[in-house]
Amino acid sequence: MTLGHQSPWALAALAWLALLGMPLAVIDVRSRRLPDWLTLPAFAGVILLLGAGAVAGHQLGHFGQAIGGAAALAGFYLALMVIRPGGMFLGDVKLAASAGAALAWVSWQALLAGTFVAFVLAAACGLLLIALGRMTRKGDLPFGPFMIAGAFLAVLLS
pLDDT of residue 118: 97
Question: For residue 85, which amino acid is it?
Answer: P
Helix/strand/coil percentages in the chain, nearest 5: 80, 0, 20
Measured from the Cβ of residue 45, the count of other Cβ atoms closer than 10 Å reads 18
- Looking at residue 145, what is its pLDDT? 97
Tell me the residue length of the chain. Answer: 158
Cα–Cα distance between 50 and 156 in angstroms, integer? 18
pLDDT, residue 139, reads: 78
Rounded CA separation 156/87 (Å): 28
134 with 125: CB under 8 angstroms? Answer: no
Neighbours of 99 (CB within 10 A): 31
* Number of neighbours of residue 13 by Cβ within 10 angstroms: 26
pLDDT at 26: 97
Q: Give pLDDT < 50 ranges for the chain.
A: 4
Determine the Cα–Cα distance for residues 49 and 94; give it in Å rounded to an integer: 17
CA separation for the pair 49, 16 (Å, rounded) = 9
pLDDT of residue 136: 84
Chain Cα centroid distance, residue 57: 24
